[in-house]
Amino acid sequence: MNATAQSSIPSGLPGVVNLWNRFKGGLTFRLQVGLCVVTSVLIIGFGYYDYSSAQKDWNYQLTELVDRVSLRIATASAGPLWSINMQQVVETIKSEMSDENLLAVEVRELREDKGGVFVTMTRQHDGTVSLTQKFESRSPISRMRMISYEGHDIGTATVHVTNAGMKRQMQTIFRQILIRIIVVNVISLAIIWLIMSRSRRIEEENNELRRHLQNIFNSMPSSLLAMDSHAIVTQMNRQAELMLGNTLDDSKGEPVADVLTIFPQAVPLIEEAAKTGQALQHRLEKTDDKGVLTHYEIHVFPLENALGCVVRLDDVSMRVRIEEMMIQNEKMNSVGMLAAGMAHEINNPLAIIAQACQNIERRLSDSLPKNKEVAELLGVDLLQLNRYLTDRQIYTFLENIKNAAARASNIVQDMLAYSRKSESRFAPCDVSELVDHAIRLSEGHYDLKKKYDFKHIEIERRYDTSVPPVACDKTKIEQVLINIIENAAMALMQSASVRPPRITISTKGAEGVVRIEIRDNGPGMDETIRKRIFEPFFTTKPVGVGTGLGLSVAYFIVKEQHKGNIEVESTIDVGTRFLIELPIDPRKVGSP
Amino acid sequence: MIRVLHVDDEPDILHGVKAYLEDEGMEVSTAGSAEEALAMVQSSEQFDAIIFDLRLPGMSGDEAVLHLHSRYPEMKYFICTGSMDFDATPNMKSAGLSQDRVFYKPLKDMSKLAAAIHRDVKKCGTDS
Ligand SMILES: Nc1ncnc2c1ncn2[C@@H]1O[C@H](COP(=O)(O)OP(=O)(O)O)[C@@H](O)[C@H]1O
Ligand SMILES: [Mg+2]
């Protein structure tokens, strides 16, 4: 309770003080105070001039008045004074005191016997003039004149005036000055306030616009970097900050070469663009410490009037991949057409070779009764003959022919997979079952020559059982999986890694598709190999082991026949990951 | 003795298969086209099994199978083809052409064909 009471008091106060301090410190405040002082001084100056000239005027007028009135009274009252006609003197004075500013008139006698005040007339507060004993108060201006009668000075007439009128006018002038100061200051303050609030509004609008532009700038998916004509960085957006690992505050004012440290190749491009005034575009490649290659596209746009440049950097890895894939597709289509036509024609001669081999083998063996029969008829010892054939390696040659025919037949079979007639075999398949079957088949493909053995490889399955059945050609998709799993197994056997070899196969349902991922922890491959693995006949394996068709067939089956997607990611010494994406219903996928 | 007719347009293939099946103790006749085969069957020659290639000059192998099956349902029909993407249509299946009677060239192991013939023809023989 105490705390709240304590805190509630200062909480309001600092607010006001702050506001006041801000206001006091502001330009507006100083401007206003200055303006007030200047106008006030000016108004006071002019007012003082008015004031003093009015005062001079008054003094002059009053002096002139006393001069004039005293002269007239002195003249007019000479006779009556001589004859001591007091009544007439009073009348004369009265008639001369019509002017409001005349305060009193005093007529004195100068005779030896009877000296002293003869008549004193004073203006009362109500403005009337009456006879008084004497005039005591002092007046600012008075005038005494001799009253002479026939050459003799017989008395004096003194006229006093009041400066009350002058005071009144002075007060009026003073009031006017005050009013002017107030009015002028109020008006000027109001005008300043209006101008200020208008400029504040403009400033706010400017701020708003700046924020908006900054927002637009930052929302760009590209990295943007602006620099002046001396290649000094002036602006960069958030994307650029992220890409370059640098903040705008750190980079502003720095030479662009110091900011684009990860793209030293970009600097000469910027210089060239700035020099020629022509926009430039260039592809850059960058491998990070994990060996992952990223493709960048740099655009340099010179600003108008050679005021600098804007640099745009985009990560175009995705686009580059798609381009690669499209080239791949083209290749596959032409190869596919050729292969499908050729394969069938090759199968017949291969059949003849294979059959002939089998017949030769069988007809040389001594177990077939017919062989014995014919041999006996011709007087040939079959056992001797077999010894001869073995010694002269005829059986080895025969075996070679058989193997070669089998190899050729495998190639042809792979090539035949390019034939487009597949849709007719599409049927809904359970993905987990399909993958399991493919794993079983590849395990069964244990091949001495290919030197891989599933006994040493751990196969981890992670199936998403909620995946709906996928419409596909089961045997073809199995072939794809087998090709990939066999590659992984062979890669694992090659690597002398300390890791226990492992293949992880996972399935996952996503929107309208199912993803099958096959990951191995083998040796991986570098970028130049990765780019080419889907090419028909591309292989890194020795002749007779690899045909280089496995992945190109997989590619064809997934992409062309199932309208799906197949991608590979690989990192040297870490492993390889194939990702297959099959539409759950390929009929819903637009034909290319 | 099992009587087999093999239909293919390649004489060397016919030769190889014939030799092998004869070594298996079958009696093998050959024909270079479907038309020739039909003529042989119609001229009252008796066969237990007929092996058809699919791509033949003139009538294709599958047509001939359908044609013959309607008249000689007791005969066993086999396919031995060079094209990998052959699929038995429902019609063909009703003619007894299950997938285990379809063989793809080159026959790496002819014993499988021989075994299939033995299996199917013998079963029939014991039935009747
Ligand atoms: N899992 C993998 N790890 C490393 N390299 C691989 C992997 N899969 C495929 N490759 C590379 O891709 C090449 C092409 O594969 P493929 O098309 O199946 O042909 P083949 O297996 O006959 O060589 C292989 O020779 C190999 O260099
Ligand atoms: Mg392979």
- The ligand placed nearest to the CA atom of residue A539 is 1
Higher pLDDT, A86 or B27: B27
Residue B115 lies in a domain: yes
Percentage of chain A beyond pLDDT 90 is: 30
Summarize pLDDT for A216-236 with one digit per residue, the tens.
Answer: 989 988 999 999 988 899 999
Summarize pLDDT for A240-255 with one digit per residue, the tens.
Answer: 998 888 888 988 999 9
Q: What is the distance between the alpha carbons of residues B53 and B11, in angstroms, rounded to a whole number?
A: 12
Residue B11 lies in a domain: yes
The answer to whether the beta carbons of residues A239 and A222 sit under 8 Å apart is yes
Is pLDDT at A423 greater than 60 in this prediction?
A: no
Higher pLDDT, A226 or A9: A226
Provide the pLDDT for residue A592: 39
Distance from the Cα of residue A476 to its chain's centroid: 49
Shortest CA distance to A235 belongs to which of A221, A220, A249? A249
Higher pLDDT, A564 or B98: A564
Provide the pLDDT for residue A266: 87
Provide the pLDDT for residue B108: 85
Is pLDDT at A187 greater than 60 in this prediction?
A: yes
Shortest CA distance to A347 belongs to which of B37, B105, B42, B46? B105
Query: Phi and psi for B95 in degrees, rounded to 5?
Result: -85, 15
Summarize the confidence of residues A309-319 as an average pLDDT: 89
Q: What is the distance between the alpha carbons of residues A569 and A575, in angstroms, rounded to a whole number?
A: 9
Higher pLDDT, A334 or A471: A471
Place of tokens 């970009």: A266
Look at chain B and report how many structural domains it folds into: 1
Residue B22 lies in a domain: yes
Provide the pLDDT for residue A96: 85
Is pLDDT at A136 greater than 80 in this prediction?
A: no
Return the number of CB contacts < 8 Å for A and B: 72
Q: Which of A23-32, A98-107, A475-484 shows the lowest mean pLDDT across its residues? A: A23-32
Provide the pLDDT for residue A564: 92
Q: Which of B108, B112, B113 to mutate to test the interface with A (most CBs of A within 10 A)?
A: B108
Higher pLDDT, A22 or A251: A251
Which domains does chain A show, CATH number per domain?
Answer: 11-191 (3.30.450), 222-315 (3.30.450.20), 318-419 (no CATH), 422-592 (3.30.565.10)
Residues of B in contact with A344 (CB under 8 A): 55, 82-83
B-contacting residues of A 385-444, CB under 8 Å? 405-406, 409, 413, 416-417, 419, 421-422, 424-425
Residue A533 near ligand 1, beta carbon < 6 Å: yes
Is pLDDT at A171 greater than 80 in this prediction?
A: yes
Provide the pLDDT for residue A206: 94
Summarize the confidence of residues A440-445 as an average pLDDT: 78
Q: Do B84 and A363 touch (CB under 8 A)?
A: no
Q: How does the average pLDDT of chain B come out, rounded?
A: 88
Provide the pLDDT for residue B76: 92
Provide the pLDDT for residue B95: 82
Provide the pLDDT for residue A19: 60
Is pLDDT at A111 greater than 60 in this prediction?
A: yes
ipTM of the modeled complex: 0.86
pLDDT band at A579 (very low <50, low <70, confident <90, very high): very high
Pick the residue whose CA is nearest to atom 24 on ligand 1: A539
Is pLDDT at A300 greater than 80 in this prediction?
A: yes
Q: How does the average pLDDT of chain A come out, rounded?
A: 84
Residue B33 lies in a domain: yes
**CATH code where residue B20 lies:** 3.40.50.2300
- The ligand placed nearest to the CA atom of residue A489 is 1
The answer to whether the beta carbons of residues A139 and A104 sit under 8 Å apart is yes
The answer to whether the beta carbons of residues A292 and A308 sit under 8 Å apart is no
Is pLDDT at B17 greater than 90 in this prediction?
A: yes
Residue range of the domain that includes B119: 3-123
Provide the pLDDT for residue A535: 83
Directed axis angle between helix A317-364 and helix B11-23, to 10°? 50
Q: Do B110 and A358 touch (CB under 8 A)?
A: yes
Is pLDDT at A110 greater than 90 in this prediction?
A: no
Residue B128 lies in a domain: no
Residue B67 lies in a domain: yes
Summarize the confidence of residues A32-43 as an average pLDDT: 87
pLDDT band at A401 (very low <50, low <70, confident <90, very high): very high
Residue B42 lies in a domain: yes
Is pLDDT at B125 greater than 60 in this prediction?
A: no
Q: Do B87 and A368 touch (CB under 8 A)?
A: no
Residue A576 near ligand 1, beta carbon < 6 Å: yes
Provide the pLDDT for residue A516: 96
A-contacting residues of B 85-104, CB under 8 Å? 85, 87, 104
User: DSSP 3-state assignment of A432?
Assistant: helix
For strands A502-510 and A458-462, give the pairing. parallel
Residue B62 lies in a domain: yes
Identify the DSSP state of A469: P
